[in-house]
Chain A
Amino acid sequence: MVAPGHRLCTGCGAGVIIRQMLMSTDYPIVVSNATGCVEVCTSVYPYTAWRVPWIHNGFENAAATISGVEAAYKSMKRRGDLPARKNDKPIKFIALGGDGGTYDIGLQSLSGALERGHDFLYICYDNGAYMNTGIQRSSASPFGANTTTSPAGVMIQGKQEERKDLTAIAAAHNIPYVATASPGYYMDFTRKVSKALEAKGPAFINVLSVCPLGWKSEPEESQVLARLGVETCFWPLFEIENGKFRLTFRPNVKKPVVEYLKRQGRFGHLFKAGNEHMLAHIQQRVDEEWGRLLEREKK
């Protein structure tokens, strides 16, 4: 449902994500897309890569926008005012945003739409910075990442703060379905999209999105990185279905996080002498979080 010929970079994770997202379902889908890479690269007038109805409104309001579309659907359906169509399968609604449009500027809009209980799925493609404007830090940028507004310099070695746990924030709205995903584990991701669209009410999936430009990684390694993020437990895969937490992937051998970091130029400075403690800190945080998730699943 996404046509080839869009202008996303070679190796862009988001292009893979939107293709997998739309492959996951037979329902008619309407997409609301926040400003960002996907939006600007798939809709250059007079062309569009979208073979489903699609709207871009602003940067911070993809969730609010889809809530209006969904409200219109309910109202027009009730009154028999919907446009005529071939079959009467229910229409499903997806809002799509990057981490900037979701973790940061769009957080309020997302929270409002989740709380109001609209029947929609929000998918965040999280590449850990404002890539579309030139790799500025976001609250999703990992600790230590070199971005243009958290640069690695002589005195400061990249981003000094931990990333925000947006998935937990979404889950705190007590919505029917919340999950993390990675296009590297596409069966897991597509199954989660299908599940989320069946949920009665709002659903949220946070998806790891590799950005060769911003991560300074090799385009041909994008799927490798999308898997390594999961296999190092840097990006654990889980779902919370009606409050029930479940890990959907457990690595047989948990790989060291440096396997993931060393392939990304944005972490290159961490491998210089004197920064060993930062690598150790990242590994420690990953271990702690993974431990918490294992404990949580036992409950």
Chain B
Amino acid sequence: MLDVVTAPPETRVAPRAAMRSAKALTGNIAVAQAIRQINPHVCAAYPITPTTQIMQEVAQFVADGLMETELVPCESEHSAMSACVGASAAGARVITATSANGLALMWEVLYIASGLRLPVVMAVGNRALSGPLNIHCDHSDSMGARDSGWIQIYAETAQEAYDNILQAVRIAEHPDVLLPVMTCMDGFLTTHTSENVELLGDAEARDFVGAYHARYSLLDVDNPITYGPNDLPDSYTEHKYQQVLAMQNAARVICEIDKEFGERFGRSYGMIDTYCMEDAETAIVVLSSTAGIVKEMVDTLRAEGRKVGLLRPRVFRPFPAQELVDALKGLRAVAVMDRALSFGAEGGPLFTEVQSALRNAECGAPKVVSRVFGLGGRAVARDEIREIYDELDSDRPVKFRLVGVRE
């Protein structure tokens, strides 16, 4: 698909040797800069709005001699992810990017990448999964891929999207993890919106990600290996169990790497982001860029004397259940705002995860309601956030509703 918006040339940032620079960058450009600094062996991708810009920028960096990456400009996302699998199994460091239908077309191969324990990193610009066709932001694409065995990290800002890519490489390649990582940011809202982003110096970024030496490479021809065999019922469960353990290990590794990143560069995020939760009685749980507008509303309501808070899971897979329970257990009521539907379920996908974590914790759980919003890029208004907080103060808030829907 064609991108409808192209990067203005002035947003291209010339690489700098060792100094950090704060610039107004879109999420896409910031992520492209991170990829330039990582300088992976292979980028295989296919264009799709709103992430096309990332690989456009990367292609230009390669054309300008600023990267040594081998580009594989595929004829579909299915082939792009397939090429990523091949390249990663060959021992290469591999990065790609996609959105929505592109992610859906990759579906089959997402499971193969994680099942073969290949540390591919993918930037996702979240976009509605049609039909009817809609190119704007919601989370139906990556939420559909939540069970594919990929680690999922959601960014609130372009800065975080940039930092997440650098961290994702380390997380994916960690010997205790060896799982692919999806770093998500909101389509257009983050991919195309300029924010102040501080880039690391090239040398310190490269030093942070380090070199990658795959344990098993198809190119180690003296020690031939078989990747992706025919795995029968006598062994398949054990291989899936190893993935379960790897995903459990990922929670620890994500925290360690985030902490190291914080110590070196002064920015750290943790598994969850909380805002005014210390004495909160009610809270909204929401992913990604929407946290910004909710934080504003928290400030407004706090000024009115109301004890409200916000919790933003930064990591969705592995799901930070314990961190969430610790932050929410004393509350009276919680609204989980999902930017995706799970048709026929009791609420959105984030809602069911939050509800399940709280119920399992047997902690005198708060009342939890589901609010689905922002589908296909529908803007959410400040008043609609206020209304959700108001509902949490009522005795019997409706369990599920679509915010702003015309019935």
Contact = CB atoms under 8 A, between A and B. Distances in A.
Contact of A57 (B44, B75, B109, B222): B109
Interface string B295-310: 0000000000000000
B291 interface: no
Contacts of B92: 68, 71-72, 75-76
A112 B219 contact: no
A65 B85 CA distance: 7
A86 interface: yes
A55 B229 CA distance: 8
B33 to A, nearest CB: 20
B82 A65 contact: yes
Given A55-B89, A69-B89, A75-B42, A43 B79 contact: no
Interface stretch (A77-85, A154-162, A186-194, A220-228): A77-85
Interface in B269-326: none
A225 B285 CA distance: 67
Nearest to A118: B72
A218 to B, nearest CB: 28
Interface string B65-81: 00011111111101110
Contacts of A58: 82, 108-109, 112
Contacts of A153: none
B221 A108 contact: no
A78 B42 contact: no
A60 B78 contact: yes
A120 to B, nearest CB: 11
A112 B76 contact: yes
Contact of A109 (B82, B90, B226): B82
Interface string A41-77: 1011110101111111110110111111111111110
B221 A64 contact: no
B75 A108 contact: yes
B232 A44 contact: yes
Contact of B83 (A43, A48, A67, A74): A67
A104 interface: no
Contact of B227 (A29, A55, A72): A55
Contacts of B94: 68, 72
A76 B75 contact: no
B224 interface: yes
B54 to A, nearest CB: 18
A39 B228 CA distance: 9
Contacts of A70: 86
A83 B79 contact: no
B377 to A, nearest CB: 30
A30 interface: yes
Contact of A72 (B91, B112, B229): B91
Interface in B216-238: 217-232, 235
Contacts of A113: 79
A63 B84 CA distance: 12
A57 B83 CA distance: 10
B86 A65 contact: yes
14 contacts: A43-B229, A53-B224, A54-B226, A55-B226, A58-B82, A64-B74, A64-B79, A69-B87, A69-B218, A71-B71, A71-B83, A75-B70, A76-B90, A83-B91
Interface of A: 28-30, 32, 39-41, 43-46, 48, 50-58, 60-61, 63-76, 78-79, 81-83, 85-86, 91, 108-109, 111-113, 115-116
Given A61-B82, A67-B74, 6 more contacts: A43-B229, A57-B85, A58-B109, A60-B78, A68-B42, A109-B79
